[in-house]
Structure 1
């Protein structure tokens, strides 16, 4: 059940990003920390699962 917990944590991190679209160039410490954690969690997933998180509607 680890991947289900990871999936939920990734969704929460994606929702918590201060600048989700990256259009405003938000480089605050909070944004960097959230993006670093999100990147770490996504890299731990298989490639096909990463694509579903990034490109799923």
Structure 2
């Protein structure tokens, strides 16, 4: 299983962790971890892409 949760609560000063997350996992074969990390990276990269078309309501 994999757990992804907000990282701020794991910082002494939570403001420092607002743009972080904590990744927890258990019972995952070691050789499966690199592909799992690659999957997370692809998902994050997808969020970082500009929109396919400009926002119509932009000021």
TM-score by length of 2: 0.33
TM-score by length of 1: 0.34
Q: Relative contact order (alpha carbons < 8 A, sep ≥ 6): 1 or 2 greater?
A: 1
Is the radius of gyration larger for structure 1 or structure 2? 2
Structure having the larger proportion of residues in strand = 2
Structure having the larger proportion of residues in helix = 1
